[in-house]
Amino acid sequence: MTQIPPDNTNHTDWNADNPIPEWYQQFINEFDYELPRQGQLLEGRIIRIEEDAILVDVGLKRDAIIPNRDLNNVDNEILNQLSVGDQVTVYVVHTPFGDQDLIVSLHKGLEHENWEKAEQYLEQEKTLELKVIGKNRGGFLVEFETIQGFLPFSQVAELRRTRDPHRTDEIKRQMMGTIIPVKVIEVNRKRRRLIFSAVAAQREIEKQRLNELKIGEIVHGPVVNIVKFGAFIDLGGVDGLVHISKLDWHHVNHPSEVVKIGDEIDVKVIDVDVEKGRISLDRRALLPSPMENFAANHHTGETLEGQVTNVVDFGAFVELAEGVEGLVHASEIGYTSTANPKDVLRVGERVLVRILDIDTEKGRTSLSMRQVPLERQLAWSLETAESKTAGETPPETSQTQPVDQVQPAATDQPAVEEQPAVEEQPAVEEQPAVKDQPAVEEQPAATDQPVVESEPAVKDQPTLEGQPESEGPGEPSVEEPTEKPTEEKPAQPGIE
């Protein structure tokens, strides 16, 4: 320490002729006339790194000390990167007096730098990749350098797309520990508020991804959400929609019948609207069509059973398999080509057809009922009728209609083949209704019949077999005296 000699000089008289003494100038230079204040930020250079402290030259007459307790608050990754000569920003913990050490904080110095970075990122609208380190009732906690930022649940796109509480909890668990793109939307250093938004970052990523996608491109991604009209697929920063009609070839009542959340699927891009931010996808286009499957399992000339789905003037459409329909032209319906399809077939009835042609490119199948052998039509019709009789017989047994059209034209077939039709005629023998007609004959009260009808009508009433003329000679003596005066006299005027 420099010894200060007694000074008998009048300081106010120092001037060019009377300069400041050298010893006095040296004293002024060595004296810390401007002490650092608590809370002040200083720029310094690391001059020594020890196990329990770091010494920093901050440009003052004493070195600043970063104590071990402060270093414990600094991430080890940052500490391992420090070396002698590095420039650092430190925070003055308190103002030193006398011989006190200048204690500074590296942790708070780094925190100050990070607040400044956050303000810059807010102005620049820069997208950051931050790690989710925790959550509370309102949102996630994210790690921004040495500052802990807040990401509200309302600013997470995945959580905004679902209202299912179970799905929401699952998303929250899955996001823990992940790194997500976010943007700074609020910085308040005094209140220590640093708010981020994943939705804001998502919009920018979506624009980039939308410009990258091409129509017709095949992409792969997980199912992230299911709604009643389709399923959303994550395409890496942007979601695309697979409409329910594009999920599968068969009819789908709800998308959950085909896909589940988390399923990884391939889809085809069919439309991209950059302005509206919409992507239309198609899963069905990558699956074999029902016609392709049908063509692989069936061939021309094969006989199949099908159900009539529509009848028009030029023919009938028959469903052969789910999603596969064929046309039976009007000329191929019956064994005679004069019948109107609407008079022969009805929607819902089952028929036996033969495949004439399968065109997978046009998705058309040509069918014929006429080219099915007659004996096979008859056998199939009988089997179908028997199976219905064994079970619940529907009110309409229209399956025999194609067979009925066969019989009139089957002149070349043996008579044995036509016998089933004869056996089905018990309805003719079961005409007891004719025998029951005495109810009609027992209407003698209807004496008006002789008035309307002639005598033969009256003679038919006594006998069912119409033999009054042969038996009449023997019995007129019994009936004529009583009936002729009452019936014939009034009947004759009527006849006339």
> Each residue of 43-72: pLDDT tens digit?
899 999 888 899 999 888 778 899 989 888
Angle at 473 between CA 470 and CA 474, to 5 degrees: 105
Distance CA 14, CA 208 (A): 73
Instruction: Report the chain's terminal Cα–Cα distance, integer Å.
Output: 169
User: What pLDDT was estimated at residue 425?
Assistant: 41
Weakest mean pLDDT among 34-38, 144-148, 381-385, 439-443: 439-443
Query: Which range among 88-92, 166-170, 262-266, 484-488 shows the weakest confidence by mean pLDDT?
Result: 484-488
pLDDT score at 25: 61
Name the more confident of 85 and 94: 85
pLDDT of 438 over the 50 cut: no
pTM: 0.46
Provide the pLDDT confidence category of residue 281 given band limits of 50, 70 and 90.
very high
Tell me what pLDDT residue 448 has. 44
Closest CA to 355 of 320, 380, 379, 403: 320
Tell me the per-residue pLDDT of 121-141, one tens digit each, with 9 for 90 and over. Answer: 999 989 999 999 999 999 999
- As a whole number of angstroms, the distance between CA 165 and CA 227 comes to 15
Q: What value does the mean pLDDT take over residues 426-447?
A: 42
459 pLDDT more than 70? no
HEC string for the chain: CCCCCCCCCCHHHCCCCCCCCHHHHHHHHHCCCCCCCCCCEEEEEEEEECCCEEEEECCCCCCEEEEHHHHCCCCHHHHHHCCCCCEEEEEECCCCCCCCCEEEEHHHHHHHHHHHHHHHHHHHCCEEEEEEEEECCCEEEEEECCEEEEEEHHHCHHHHCCCCHHHHHHHHHHHCCCEEEEEEEEEECCCCEEEEEHHHHHHHHHHHHHHHCCCCCEEEEEEEEEECCEEEEECCCCEEEEEHHHCCCCCCCCHHHCCCCCCEEEEEEEEEECCCCEEEEECHHHCCCHHHHHHHHCCCCCEEEEEEEEEECCEEEEEEECCEEEEEEHHHCCCCCCCCHHHHCCCCCEEEEEEEEEECCCCEEEEECCCCCHHHHHHHHHHHHHHHHHCCCCCCCHHHHHHHHHHHHCCCCCHHHHHHHHHCCHHHHCCHHHHCCHHHHCCCCCCCHHHHCCHHHHHHCCCCCCCHHHHHHHCHHHHHHHHHHHHHHHHHHHHC
pLDDT at 485 exceeding the cut of 60 = no
Task: Report percent pLDDT > 90 for the chain.
Answer: 22
